[in-house]
Amino acid sequence: MMAFEYHLADPGNWYSHDAPEQRWLSKRTVKLASLFHLEEEIQFMRRRLEQLVQSGEAMTSNTVIEMSVSLDHKINEYMNLVQKSR
């Protein structure tokens, strides 16, 4: 179990950038897509970190610390983008 919880935005109404027939409507839409992508990365990294610890990796191991620091950076990147999009 993680020491803290955070909740990411619901990506419900975002446009997909995978469909070639869809075009970005605005810079805001691009920022929302970036936020969605960062959320996916954060969730993946968080699950990976939890798996490492649950598999017996020590909380102080280099692998866990490196993953935790990378996750912190990704969360900071997300929070900075959220602040800029307000």
Residues 6+ apart with CB under 8 A from 45: 67, 70, 71, 74
Model-level pTM? Answer: 0.66
pLDDT value of residue 41: 95
Give the span between the Cα atoms of 75 and 35, in whole angstroms: 11
Q: Structure tokens of 8?
A: 């990411």
25-77 pLDDT tens trace: 567 777 888 889 999 999 999 999 999 999 999 999 999 999 999 999 999 99
Answer yes or no: is pLDDT of 19 > 60: no
How is the chain split into domains, by residue range?
27-84
Would you tell me how many other CB atoms lie within 10 Å of the CB of residue 78? Answer: 20
